[in-house]
Amino acid sequence: MKGQGIGFGKAILFNEHFVVYGIPSIVSAIGKYTVAKVEPYDEKELKLEDLREATPNYKEGKLGQQKDSLKRILKKMNIDVSKNGLKITLDGNLYCASGIGASAASCVAIARALSDYFNLNLSDDEINDIAYEGEMGYHGTPSGVDNTASTYGGLIWFQKGDTNVIERIPISNPIEIVIGNTGKVADTAAAVAGVRGRKEKNPEKYQEVFDRAENITYLAKQALQEGDYREVGKLMNENHKLLQQIEVSSKELDFLVSIARDQGALGAKLTGGGLGGNMIALTPGRDLQEEVATAIEKEGFQTVKTVVGASRGGIE
């Protein structure tokens, strides 16, 4: 008897960090995903086998958080492994690095695989709730944006609140992007705490930045719906500037962003928690995508060539 489930990776196009404070963000599933498989295990415990490819030290650095996350998922699902042992295997084509929702993808995949194994027939909404609980093990108080994109796929407008606002943004076709990996494993919880501390010290300066970030998302939503990718790119560039102002970028991220823009990317910015991890470049069309990826790789950095707006029918 086996259970299986998938969870998408994600790229935040607009407003990572700002989203924690109730400002809307735009996030997309990407066409890469994590697969979880669940099967019986002889010992009365949980055994995890993690076969995912990853940035050096990513999996080792996150091991404590991963154990906490698994405990939370099992508790939320009322599964007791001390009675019946389970083995969970993680695999798939999503390369684990900071900023592309690797932890959320694994939480969603595990929740789906457990639902399949125990014939629970959980809905996407229920899977999303369980994955959010799992994300707490990694991020403390996550916004919920990563697990939402990972669960539902597609391009999503997400606003955190007493009841989260989750709306699909319809676009005609998935759009090619390049994700560039700095190779630095980022601590999202520390980045979020840093923003909170600086915001409390400089409330006026930060309010100005946050207001502009909010305005940008509404403009970006309209541009995406109209297929105006040049405008989307300009707004991504501006969003990166705001993220620099709240001190969550890094010299490596800024370097990769400038390479992508120099090669003709319509826009480029950090994606995810910042302080390392990944950046994202908007590169509609395979040729532009290839040029930007090649330029980043020539500098010795890894890239992922994929699409945003991928739905479950559009996995690679």
| Residue 92 bridge partners (DSSP) | 34
Instruction: Give the integer Cα–Cα distance in Å for 303 and 283.
Output: 13
Let me know if 262 is a catalytic residue. no
Residue 271 is inside which H or E element, if any? Answer: strand 267-271
Instruction: Give the integer Cα–Cα distance in Å for 13 and 308.
Output: 9
Neighbours of 144 (CB within 10 A): 21
Given a contact cutoff of 8 angstroms between Cβ atoms, the answer to whether 278 and 271 are in contact is yes
Catalytic residue among 146, 211, 262, 287: 146
Distances (CA, A) of 79 to 13, 117, 137, 141: 36, 11, 17, 23
- CA angle, corner 185, sides to 183 and 189, nearest 5? 150
Which of these, 7, 134, 5, 132, lies nearest to 66 by C-alpha position? Answer: 134
Catalytic residues: 146
